[in-house]
Amino acid sequence: MAPRSVLCCVCALVIPVIFFSAATTMVVAAEEFKVGDALGWRQPTLNETDMYNLWASRRRFHVGDSLRFEYTNDSVVVVDKWGFYHCNTSSPITAYTDGNNTLVTLDQPGPMYFISGDHHHCKEGQRLLIDVFPLHPRSHSPPAIARPPQSFPGISPAPSPLSNSGPTISSADGVVSISVVSVLVVFVATVLMA
Q: What is the pLDDT of residues 31-67, one digit of tens each?
A: 999 999 999 999 999 889 999 999 999 999 999 999 9
> Is 43 inside any structural domain?
yes
- Rounded to the nearest 10 degrees, the angle between the axes of helix 171-193 and helix 4-23 is 170
**pTM for this prediction:** 0.58
pLDDT band at 144 (very low <50, low <70, confident <90, very high): low
Task: Kindly tell me if the per-residue pLDDT of 185 is higher than 70.
Answer: no
Task: Kindly tell me if the per-residue pLDDT of 136 is higher than 80.
Answer: no
> Is 172 inside any structural domain?
no
Taking the C-alpha atoms of residue 68 and residue 106, their distance in angstroms, rounded to an integer, is: 11
> Is 141 inside any structural domain?
no
Identity of residue 154: G
Residue 90 belongs to what domain range? 32-133
Burial class (CB in 10 A: 0-12, 13-18, 19+), 118: middle
Pairing of strands 127-133, 94-96: unpaired
Neighbours of 19 (CB within 10 A): 15
Selected residue with higher pLDDT from 12 and 17: 12
Task: Kindly tell me if the per-residue pLDDT of 145 is higher than 70.
Answer: no
In the sheet with 101-105, reading across from the earlier edge strand, the strands are 32-34, 66-70, 101-105
Alpha carbon separation from 151 to 4, 32, 69, 154 (Å, rounded): 58, 52, 59, 9
Instruction: Look up residue 39 and give its DSSP letter.
Output: G
Q: In the predicted model, what is the mean pLDDT of residues 138-152? A: 52
Number of domains in the chain: 1
* 24 touches 68 (CB < 8 A): no
Taking the C-alpha atoms of residue 68 and residue 35, their distance in angstroms, rounded to an integer, is: 6
Q: Tens digits of per-residue pLDDT, 119-133?
A: 999 999 999 999 999
Q: What is the CATH number of the domain that holds 91?
A: 2.60.40.420
From 32, 47, 36, select the one nearest 127 (Cα to Cα): 36
Instruction: Look up residue 89 and give its DSSP letter.
Output: -
pLDDT reported for residue 174: 40
Selected residue with higher pLDDT from 97 and 57: 57
> Is 18 inside any structural domain?
no
> Is 67 inside any structural domain?
yes
Task: Kindly tell me if the per-residue pLDDT of 4 is higher than 70.
Answer: no
pLDDT reported for residue 98: 75
> Is 124 inside any structural domain?
yes
> Is 58 inside any structural domain?
yes
Q: Percent of the chain having pLDDT more than 90?
A: 49
CA 23 to chain centre: 19
> Is 149 inside any structural domain?
no
Task: Kindly tell me if the per-residue pLDDT of 117 is higher than 50.
Answer: yes
